[in-house]
Amino acid sequence: EIVLTQSPGTLSLSPGERATLSCRASQSVSNYLAWYQQKPGQAPRLLISGASNRATGIPDRFSGSGSGTDFTLTISRLEPEDSAVYYCQQYDTLITFGQGTRLEIK
């Protein structure tokens, strides 16, 4: 099973700042990696697929990069509504999720 490790566990930033979230895979997943945002009481929402392709309707403040084992989700110009838990997911070999990064907006 491919294990995804996300860091940091929690990130606390102010509006307007930039957030950098990391996802590391235990073996290469090529670019078969997605990012999701989940707010309390809601289902996850797809942000990024194929490591760097924004999903429909996602603002260009959200960007993804990386390939192989190291991936990054960057959120520029943070807004209060970006407060959520962010998960990465690999789909190169079946499907696994990272444990999540909680982003708090001060």
Partner 1 sequence: EVQLLESGGGLVQPGGSLRLSCTASGFTFSKYAVSWVRQTPGQGLEWVSAISGSDDGTYHADSVKGRFTISRDNSKNTLYLQMNSLRAEDTAVYFCAKAPLGSCTNTRCYNFDYWGQGTRVTVSS
Binding residues vs partner 1 (CB under 8 A): 1, 32, 34, 36, 42-46, 49, 55, 87, 89, 91-100
The contacts of residue 79 (CB under 8 Å, 6+ apart) are 15, 61, 105
Q: How far is the CB of 14 from partner 1 (least distance, A)?
A: 26
Furthest C-alpha separation in the chain: 38
Instruction: Count Cα atoms within 13 angstroms, Cβ side, for 76.
Output: 6
Q: How far is the CB of 16 from partner 1 (least distance, A)?
A: 28
- C-alpha 3/C-alpha 18 separation (Å) is 27
Closest to partner 1 by CB, 36 vs 62, is 36
Q: How far is the CB of 82 from partner 1 (least distance, A)?
A: 19
Radius of gyration of the chain (CA): 13
Closest to partner 1 by CB, 44 vs 66, is 44
Closest CA to 21 of 94, 68, 59, 78: 78
Q: How far is the CB of 43 from partner 1 (least distance, A)?
A: 4
